[in-house]
Structure 1
């Protein structure tokens, strides 16, 4: 069994019960997108990219009830990677990518720069937040968090820190303006920017249609 196979098994067990839109199917699509980008980035390390793509949500704190639980999941992951004999240098690279690729980390300006490996994983994950599936994921996550779907009287926010970004006092539709529509201009690779074009337009078309139908109720 290869290390990537073992890492895949670990991810599948860790995320098997996720109901927030960060489940195994999401991870599989991120890996597939990373593979598309890898074709055009020959200097990247394929193992590091695929491992980080597979594991990037395993200890994401928004999927846990407490920060303590998330930190324990991170420790468990590092122990697992050591057990399957991933080199210390590779473990450091994988964890550095996961710890610095998130949108919320970039808001606060605390994210460390990502090399090409991290840029590919970040692009793949952000592309998953654009397009048709992204719309369903946003609605699913909003429902799980009991967010209001839409309220025209609540304006989109400009979050200044992670706490503001993660708070539930906005709406699911506002999330498009607070993050999803902003992604296109913050991608790292040309391949990702090309993929993003049609996904961006699909979200814009959806929002126009959604609002036209919503306001028929007035």
Structure 2
């Protein structure tokens, strides 16, 4: 009961902090943070040893610094976000004994940073964030980001890359095999692996139907 009350009190504070850093990126907005927390909270039911306050804080604050995919400092964004999260949490009176765990969970969530998650909290947050890159919402986010970066939807004559090297810097559809399929293979929890496989299967079915229409 006490933990539920603590989480209920913490959530609005985290939302205010997250909203103060909103850059207007539709793929990394409050709805994304809410989905990450929802997925992470579901995983917590299977990992009672995890600290829910750490997971909640990292879920809502992991994108405090959100750099574009093509930014030269992209690989450092999660470390920068972790530093900013600690500063904001300290100012908000968050328990100091949990700050290092939050910092690590945020720093390790990023695919670009390639930092192995050392704690169950970090593994849960990493899985929850990556799950939002898969399935119907993940696909919508992929095309949204592709449009922001000026990428074409797909190669005009070879969308599946049967006779060329895949290039997701030029074609959004190529991102499915170059990145999303790999993400599914990085899941750290049993629940994350099961959901990732289901969502990746959905994306590939969509891609096959897309290609059939594209090439008609």
Same fold (TM over 0.5): yes
1:145 alignment partner in structure 2: 149
State whether residues 109 and 126 of structure 2, in contact with CA within 8 Å, keep that contact through their aligned partners in structure 1.
yes
The alignment status of 1:98 with 2:109, answered yes or no, reads: no
Distance 1:215 1:176 in 2: 18
Q: Kindly provide the CA deviation profile for residues 17-74 of structure 1, in whole angstroms up to 9, marking residues without a partner as x.
A: 423411111111111000111111111000000110101111133389785xx68766
**CA displacement at 1:145 relative to structure 2:** 1.1
Aligned-pair Cα RMSD in Å? 2.6
Structure 2 unaligned blocks of 5 or more? 1-7
Distance 1:112 1:197 in 2: 21
Which of 1 and 2 has higher RCO (CA within 8 Å, sep 6+)?
1
The alignment status of 1:48 with 2:58, answered yes or no, reads: no
Q: Spell out structure 1 runs of 4+ moving beyond 4 A.
A: 63-67, 70-76
Q: Kindly provide the CA deviation profile for residues 64-116 of structure 1, in whole angstroms up to 9, marking residues without a partner as x.
A: 9785xx6876655432211112233322221211112211122xxxx143310
State whether residues 131 and 199 of structure 1, in contact with CA within 8 Å, keep that contact through their aligned partners in structure 2.
yes
2:14 alignment partner in structure 1: 7
**How many equivalent pairs are there?**
201
- Show the 5 A alignment for 1:72-111: 76-106=84-114, 111=115
Evaluate the alpha carbon distance shift between residue 48 and residue 40 of structure 1 in structure 2; reply closer, same or farther with a 3 A threshold. same
Distance 1:198 1:97 in 2: 25
Structure 1 unaligned blocks of 5 or more? 158-167
State whether residues 3 and 84 of structure 1, in contact with CA within 8 Å, keep that contact through their aligned partners in structure 2.
no
Residue in structure 2 matching 1:155, options 150, 162, 165: 165
